[in-house]
Structure formats: C-alpha cells, structure tokens
Amino acid sequence: MSEAALELEGIEKTYNAGRENEVQVLRGATLALERGQVTALVAPSGAGKSTLLHIAGLLDVPDAGRVGIGGRDMTGAGDRERTRVRRRDVGFVYQFHHLLPEFSALENVMLPQLAEGRPKAEAEARAQDLLASVGVADRAEHRPAALSGGEQQRVAFCRALANAPRVLLADEPTGNLDPATSDRVFGALMQLVRETGLAALIATHNLELAARMDRQLRLDEGRVIAA
C-alpha cells in the first residue's frame, strides 16, 4: 500500500448476501487521501457513504478489498490492532454527535486524550484551544444537554481532533449548523488541515460546501469517481 493517509482499494460490501433483501452497496470502491487535503464525498441518500466511512474508519470490515491507514495495511488486522489504530489515527464526526451526556464540553474533548495517556494539564489546554477555534470556549463547562445542537456539533468536532488523528472522517458535519457557524467550523477545519497535515474525508449533500474543499469525489453505483 502507498503512504497515503488513507487508502481504500477495491472495497466491496453487500448486506444480507444471498438473501432476497440483498443490497450490494460497494462494488470496488477505491480512493486515496493525501495528507493536508480535505476531500468531499458527495452521494445521494442510500448510496453507501456511511458504509464507506465505517469501513475506512475500521468500524466495519469489507467483504473484499484493502484498507490502509498511514501506509499500514489493515486488511488482515485483528480487533485489538484495529481498535488501537482507530483510536490513535482516526477521528470521527457523526451527524448525531454522541457526546457523553454526564461530562462537560471540555471533559468530552479531554477524555480521548487522557485515554491515550496525555497528562491532564496538557489535555485541558489542547481541549480549550480546540473549543476556542470553533467559537465555543465560553461553553466549556456546559454539559451537552445545555448546549444548542450546533454547539454540540462543534464540540464533537473538537473531540474528533483531540488526539491529532491522521485521518478525519465526517458524515454531514455541518448539517445542523446555520450558514455562518458552518462557515466558521469549516474554516477551522481547513486551518487545522493545513497546519497539521491531517487528511479529511467529508460526506455531504451540500454541493456549495463540497465545492470549497480541495477535491470532490462521488459515490456512483458502489464506486468512487471524481465529481
């Protein structure tokens, strides 16, 4: 495999194979993400974006094909190795944020860092910087329930970036943000990508947002093509 931050090669995935409700979702999907680039993945609902993001993030395994992260072939890796690489190298932002309800915004961004063994003071400083970069520094002590949907989304974004992953995978990350906030979050992402060499793959229905990314890909009949 190449040194690409993320590489998918000939990925195939079928749900309910051999049954009458069989759905062949991915049919040889191939892509490579370079460091320091934001790539849009545009596709109609049901085309398989979430399936592709889950396979890319080592949350699911393909029926066939290869997955490489940072040049490491993960195809035959066991669960422990997949979990280790996922925690260290991959950040996720989901449409529904899954923040931990009993912890503050700041703690939600600190926790993944503490799990990786970063000292508390360092984790807190990084969490505060990240929250400030997307405009929610003054909400750091609030629990998720006391934040608006857009604020929660921004905290989730900070959490995904907390351990400085190689790869950021996002599913409609600005879907529930108003245009000005969406712009701000997108700007923060672009800056982080430039500064850190992160590779981001962002699934979105928003064509205007996709056009502002470095590269545009489309999922078409289970394959990835240039948009």
Ligand X SMILES: Nc1ncnc2c1ncn2[C@@H]1O[C@H](COP(=O)(O)OP(=O)(O)OP(=O)(O)O)[C@@H](O)[C@H]1O
Cβ 153 to ligand X shortest distance, Å: 16
What residues does 216 pair with on adjacent strands?
40
Q: How far apart are CA 145 and CA 36, in angstroms?
A: 34
* Neighbour tally for 207: CB within 10 Å: 11
Q: Which pair of structure tokens corresponds to residue 60?
A: 């699911």
23 binds ligand X (CB under 6 A): yes
Give the interface segment with ligand X, choosing from 31-39, 48-56, 144-152, 174-182 (CB under 6 A).
48-56
Cβ 51 to ligand X shortest distance, Å: 3
Comparing CB distances to ligand X, the nearer of 6 and 127 is: 6
Give the interface segment with ligand X, choosing from 45-53, 122-130, 134-142, 209-217 (CB under 6 A).
45-53
Cβ 218 to ligand X shortest distance, Å: 11
207 binds ligand X (CB under 6 A): no
Q: How many residues make contact with ligand X (CB under 6 A)?
A: 12
- Burial pattern 117-133, b for ≥16 Cβ within 10 A else e, equals ebeeeebbebbbebbeb
CA distances from 97 to 136, 168, 172, 216, 221 (A): 15, 14, 11, 24, 28
Which position among 46, 71, 119, 179 is part of the footprint of ligand X (CB under 6 A)? 46
217 binds ligand X (CB under 6 A): no
11 binds ligand X (CB under 6 A): no
Q: Smallest Cα–Cα separation from 106: which of 91, 118, 133, 124? A: 124
138 binds ligand X (CB under 6 A): no
Judged by DSSP in three states, 97 sits in: coil
CA 215 to chain centre: 16
Which position among 48, 62, 91, 222 is part of the footprint of ligand X (CB under 6 A)? 48
Which position among 49, 86, 97, 126 is part of the footprint of ligand X (CB under 6 A)? 49
Q: Which residues of the shown chain bind ligand X in the complex (CB under 6 A)?
A: 15-16, 23, 25, 43, 45-51
